[in-house]
Amino acid sequence: MLKLTAITKKFGGLQVLDDVSLTVPECAIFGLIGPNGAGKTTVFNLITGMLVADSGTIELASARLDALAPYQITRRGVARTFQNIRIFKDMTLLDNVLVALGDHPSYNAFSIVLPLRRYRQAQRREQERAREFLSRVGLADKAQLLAETLSYGEQRRLEIARALATGPKLLLLDEPAAGMNSVEKLQLMDDITKLGEGGLTILIIEHDMRFIMGLCQQIAVLNFGKLIANGTPDEIRSSTAVIEAYLGQDNEAGGELGGVQA
């Protein structure tokens, strides 16, 4: 479904991504892990068009994404959440989701001049749809609250509801479990599994190993911008390259500890 080919990205002199190739199969829950600063979020930023790769291609279902503007990429079916939550805090939950529902064809500029019945009906239908997305993440009863009043875990779930409302085929989750307690994490794993069963392809960045190992069918590991492993959770767990990246290697020149790199 998603195919990255030989992606390279530099920030000034820093090689953030070096020849990364990655294929995410359709309907999979795919994990992307790696020590801090490995370039995981940069991969997301490249896929969604927030950054442009120096070289390499990105394809979604065989169509090139890398020359498109971010909003066009979203319209092709890629949605994401953010590591640092980016909900619209001064809006109600309902409005947050309504923004994401996209341009509605059934009414136009004239409707603002004269709000006819059809326009009001379309607005009502939109609100019902928005409520559905909220209920999928268990927030329907808080639809009229301002988003800033939500707890951290709820804000993350709202962000997922908003991403779903754009109608994605591929969902990118950037550390969805960060800051959640273990009960919330279990609930979230359950929600994500259901989304995957519903036919959505999901790519997750996460540091919580139990979370990622329990959820993903396949996992890729980035370290210093290079893909060092790619396989099933069991393969990743036993890969020496991955263990070295996280725990460091004895007697190496410089003796670097990947796990503490900022």
Partner 1 sequence: MSFVTFVVRHRIRCLVATVGIFAVIFSRTAKTFKHSSANKMEWLESFWSTYNTLVLSVGTNVLLALSIYLTLSCGLLTVANAAFMGLGAYTAALLTLNTQMPLWIAALAGALVAAAVAAAMGRPTLRLSGVYLAMATLAFGEVVRILILNTEQFTGGALGLNAIPQLTQWYDVAAAVALALYLLLGLARSRVGRTMAAIAQDETATELMGLNVRTYKLFAFVAGAALAGVAGALNAHFTFFISPGEYGFERGVEILAMGVLGGTASPWGAVIGAVLLTLLPELLRGLGHYRPLINGAILILIILYSPKGLWDLLRLGARAPKAAA
Residues that bind partner 1 (CB under 8 A): 48, 50, 69-71, 74-75, 79-80, 82, 86-91, 95, 98-100, 102-104, 111-113, 115, 126, 162, 165-166
Distance in Å, CB of 42 to partner 1, minimum: 15
Judged by DSSP in three states, 151 sits in: coil
Q: Do 197 and 28 contact (CB within 8 A), yes or no?
A: no
- Classified as helix, coil or strand, 79 is strand
In terms of CB distance, is 103 or 250 closer to partner 1?
103
Report the distance separating Cα 51 and Cα 24, nearest Å: 20
- Report the residue number, 137 or 242, with the smaller CB distance to partner 1: 137
d(CA 190, CA 30): 15
C-beta closer to partner 1: residue 200 or 221:
200
CB count within 10 Å of CB 192 equals 22
Beta carbon of residue 68, minimum distance to partner 1 (angstroms, whole number): 11
Beta carbon nearer to partner 1, 3 or 75 = 75
Burial of 147 (0-12, 13-18, 19+ CB in 10 A): buried
C-beta of 86 vs 194, nearer to partner 1 = 86
Angle separating helix axes 117-136 and 152-165, nearest 10 degrees = 130
Q: Which is nearer to partner 1, 147 or 219 (CB)?
A: 147
Per the structure block, which two tokens stand in for 219? 């996992």
- Residue 176 Cβ, how far from partner 1 at the closest point, in Å? 16
Nearest-approach distance from CB 151 to partner 1, in angstroms = 19
Strand order in the sheet with 2-11: 14-24, 2-11, 55-60, 63-64
Answer whether 240's CB lies under 8 Å from 67's CB. no
**Closest approach of Cβ 187 to partner 1, in Å?**
24
Provide, rounded to whole angstroms, the least separation between the CB of residue 28 and partner 1. 22
